[in-house]
Structure 1
Amino acid sequence: MSNIKKLSDGVYLKIIPLKGNPLKSINIYMVKSKGYTMIVDTGFNTEEIREEMLSFIEDMGVDLSKTILFLTHLHSDHTGLATWFHKELGVKIYMGDIDYRIMSSMTDANSKRWKSVMETTHLQGLDEDNLKIEEHAGFRYRPKAEFPYVSFNPDYILRVGDFTFKGMDFSGHTPGMIGLYEESKKILFCGDHLLGDITPNITFWDFTVGDSLGMYLKNIEELRDLPIDHLYSSHRALIEDVPKRIDELKEHHNHRIDEALKTLKSKGKCTVRDIAMNMNWDMRAKDFSEFPNTQKFFAAGEAHAHLEHLRAIGKVNFEKDEDGVLWYYAL
């Protein structure tokens, strides 16, 4: 149990490596109270992480008949082992309806959802990069089959022994991420909503979801005055000063917004790829063209989210060329 840390009464953490991924690791939490257990998220769908999760369960003496799994959002580093939890461990799974619907449409490798992801790369002007869906981390490590779940949405209540959690709307990073807030203990499990050492990826989903960045900025601001003694996020170091981190994240995205707008004003009409190429990234690569393909999906998605936010606030617009590629321009 040397790699398991007790964070507060009844709350434990195991940091599981995500080898070969820029995220480096994921924080997996366990809440134990009065014989009941809740595990928060799963890690990727790999044999290595499955062994890490089994070790966590065994080391903590978990009674699986009194255990639930809570999935904060649809990304594969949070849901990858969900089918295994259901089929092999018999654990009941709780998740928000919005993200479950999206995630369940991605279990099939040939689904419309994955085809839509590739169609979006065309809209973004990424054809020259020859991206393949097999290079997308969300595709490679996803749960391979649907699983039954218990619907858990904002304002729902979930009890685990002495803990009473309320669902919170953390949409933005994904269309329907859900946080868990324990008011009496001032504990918040926030998934990827607030991260300490890195910034959550805010991506363009589709035009139905719309301005994901605007949604995210609104929802992080609503945490500013929430009484929080323990903020438990999913990656890297834990955050101690929540208002300070909110300000840092807002400043980061304002800088990104300025980068995109300045590029459009100086260069004229640009594709999403053009904008991504002119943004500064914390990557060990000379420029966007040298990014690993798996990271081009995420970089373009983030650039696109900032362009769509600019469009939502009336500062840019786009037109489609005859091939269906989007060209954004400043107003």
Structure 2
Amino acid sequence: MKSMVLTDGPLGPEQHSLLEYPITPPQADGSVVEIADGLLWLRMPMPMALDHINVYLLQDDDGWYILDTGLNTETTRQLWLTVIEKHCKSKAIKGVICTHFHYDHSGLATWLTQTFNVPLYMTYGEFYMIKTISSGLASLGNDHQLDFYHRSGLPRKDVDAMLNSCRKDPFIKLCPPSFTRLREGDVLTIGKRRWQIVIGEGHSPEHACLYCAEDKLLLAGDQLLPHISSNILVTEMEPQGQPLKYWLSSLEKLQTLDPNTLVLPAHGPVFREMHLRAKQLIQHHLEQLDILRAFALQVTEFNAYQAMKHLFKRSLSPIESMMALGETLAHLNWLESNGDLFCQRTNDTGINSYLSTDKIKEDRITL
């Protein structure tokens, strides 16, 4: 499923205005905008709150590469056929590159690669995450999942609502049959440009950005967005995972690239001031951590569901609740690993409870 930010925090309009937006976006109707010679920007519509995804065409000497696919819908398939016929200058499609596994980025990977008989390029972690999710559809609501949500303190009715929403999701499809692997530091030479693979973590396991140092261009996927922050979540597959740690490290890595780089994101407008944007996103999560530290000092103990309700005060849909809980757990895991929280995992309720380590010392609580 698509997982994006649920909070505004420091990411409101006053922050967005500090970035530079040099190019007017295309409409999500098959229109294209030329970013640079041989690099086209187009948008595919999405029937959800996040109503578009940016996708790109990269021109090689004898054909084109598609970067990210859009959702698996008839509308998107027809738009691709229209765009390719109108804008690819009778040159063949040579390959499909997916930045990561989320289905707005990879949902049409199978159709595109089979329609044009071309390879799919992805990282190992992203390809096998699609396989894992596809193979797990039949076992939604298994004992391990139910135990994970119980330990988080989530009411069973909320768990059932989340799982039912996942079962009804129309966009989760089977995994493509094969892929060509992308690795950190690999270089794809497409036309006159050399695109270096820069791997990010946190939002997804092994997210591939493409960076052209000579032209100062970054195809950023969801790793750096101008108006929203990508969801960072923990799931039952890795309950003690540290996605926030690796997300923050990935944002710091992006700040080593040329500060004048033009960022081509998966959502929102193309922008400059990438270092500033990375710092804004880091600050957002540091503030979320501070909120949880303060909450831990206000109560004797709490569970992840209670922490989620403290962080996300507005009404949430079942899918939004799943993302909010996962993001809360990502922050709780970071605080636990940093020594700010202690987690009791053995108790009569079977629900994990968190305590502030400062309060433990202050109140001399015996664990």
Question: TM-score normalized by structure 2?
Answer: 0.81
Letter in 1 for 2:317: P
Residue aligned with 1:173, SS: coil
Query: Is 1:59 paired with 2:86?
Result: yes
Residue 242 of structure 2: which of 191, 194, 211 is its match?
Answer: 211
The answer to whether the 8 Å contact 1:175/1:209 transfers is: no
CA drift of 1:216 comes to: 0.7
Distance 1:29 1:149 in 2: 19
CA drift of 1:224 comes to: 1.4
Higher gyration radius (CA): 2
Larger relative contact order (C-alpha < 8 A, sep ≥ 6)?
Answer: 2
The 5 A counterparts of 1:2-41 are 3-20=31-48, 22-41=49-68
1:217-249, Cα deviation, whole Å (9 max, x unpaired): 011111213115321110112231111111111
The answer to whether the 8 Å contact 2:288/2:311 transfers is: yes
Distance 1:124 1:64 in 2: 53
Residue aligned with 1:107, SS: helix
Residue 183 of structure 1: which of 213, 218, 239 is its match?
Answer: 213
Seen in structure 2, the aligned counterparts of structure 1 residues 142 and 275 have a Cα distance that, compared at 3 Å, is: same
Query: Is 1:224 paired with 2:250?
Result: no
Residue 174 of structure 1: which of 204, 218, 231 is its match?
Answer: 204
Cross-structure match for 1:284: none
The 5 A counterparts of 1:281-296 are 287-288=313-314, 290-296=315-321
The 5 A counterparts of 1:119-268 are 119-126=147-154, 127-129=156-158, 130-136=160-166, 140-205=170-235, 206-207=237-238, 210-227=241-258, 228-268=260-300
Number of paired residues?
323
Query: Is 1:90 paired with 2:120?
Result: no
Seen in structure 2, the aligned counterparts of structure 1 residues 258 and 181 have a Cα distance that, compared at 3 Å, is: same
CA drift of 1:138 comes to: 11
The answer to whether the 8 Å contact 1:260/1:303 transfers is: no
Distance 1:59 1:137 in 2: 37
Unaligned runs of 5+ in 1: 281-286
1:184-240, Cα deviation, whole Å (9 max, x unpaired): 222111111111011111111443772110101011111213115321110112231
Identity of aligned residues (%): 23
The answer to whether the 8 Å contact 2:131/2:174 transfers is: no
CA drift of 1:298 comes to: 0.9
Distance 2:174 2:338 in 1: 39
Distance 2:102 2:145 in 1: 14
Distance 1:121 1:58 in 2: 48
1:124-173, Cα deviation, whole Å (9 max, x unpaired): 22224133434239954123243210011111121212222111121111
Using the TM superposition, name which of 62-71 and 81-90 deviates more: 62-71
Residue 301 of structure 1: which of 323, 326, 331 is its match?
Answer: 326
Cross-structure match for 1:48: 75
Question: TM-score normalized by structure 1?
Answer: 0.89
Distance 1:188 1:178 in 2: 11
